Amino acid sequence: MCRRCGFVIQENWLNQTPEWRAFTLNEQQVRTRVGAPTSLLHFDKGLSTTFQPSKDSAGKALPWTQRQKMTRLWKWNNRARMHSKERNLVQAMNELTRLADKLHISRPIVDNAAYLYRRNLTHVRGRSIEGMMAAILYLSCRLTGTPMNLKALTSASSRSRKEITRCYRFLQRDNNLKVPIDNPSQYIPRIASKTKLSQLAQNLAMRIILKAKTKHAVVGKSPLGMAAAALYIAAKTTQETVTQRELADAAEVTEVTVRNRYKNLKQIITS
């Protein structure tokens, strides 16, 4: 209910918390009566049942003849419950898990990517699963405002950048999504940590980017290049030693890009 006026917003709310209390890890393990929670990263969302072909219901080892029979039944059970759609999801979720582990992406973004892939599963036909999954992961990062470099994603994926961008444009057009523009301020801490710049320089670079955004100077420009140029101006102001080449290598852009963005930002600051 509303705490101000007392209006009941929703009633008959289901309490999903356990009815027991545990004060130690051992008590929690003993009193827990359910399995793992459902997850979109599993092709069946973790709801399907399975069995061990080598043990019975009491946990005792089966004889050799029974073990062979149960192993055959276990194989046919896996084949029967996985059709073309499930096989596609198995391969896609494995690729998503691999990319997320390699790029150190948080779990909420991975779950959002899994949801987007399931929603666009009918449109995957005729396209590679690896390319579509990389594009969906990049789209999920853009929608959640998480900084993601397309070059790093391409190096982690087995598909080319051209194919990933083609799948990305198709997903954006087919789902009618308005993807927010990357904020250069999100890349400043990562570039500063690689070049060992101080927090004072980072704060000054943030203010430079904010002033450039008010004058619409970041539209159509590479956010990595703008972040590197703002850090270069901030480092010169705070008298910290860093070169344009070092910032370009940390931002994974060319030195010419940093130099051009530096000239643009310098004109904005002095104007």
Q: What is the pLDDT of residues 50-87, one digit of tens each?
A: 777 888 877 788 888 888 998 898 888 777 766 667 78
Are 110 and 188 part of one and the same domain? no
Q: Which residues of 247-266 are buried (b: 16+ CB within 10 A; e: fewer)?
A: bbbbbbbeeebbeebbebbe
**Does residue 47 sit within a domain?**
no
What would the two tokens of residue 99 be? Answer: 């990319």
State the CATH number of the domain containing residue 245: 1.10.472.10
Are 108 and 156 part of one and the same domain? yes
Are 91 and 162 part of one and the same domain? yes
Residue-range definition of the domain harbouring residue 205: 184-270
Contact at 8 Å (CB) between 54 and 67?
Answer: yes
| Count of domains for the chain | 2
What would the two tokens of residue 117 be? Answer: 């892939």
Share of the chain above pLDDT 70, in %: 96
pLDDT digits (tens, 9 = 90+) for 85-117: 778 888 889 999 999 999 989 899 999 999 999
**Does residue 133 sit within a domain?**
yes
Q: ∠ at Cα 243 (240, 249), nearest 5°?
A: 125
> Cα separation of 253 and 171, whole Å?
26
Are 125 and 205 part of one and the same domain? no
pTM: 0.71
- Amino acid of residue 171: L
Are 170 and 197 part of one and the same domain? no
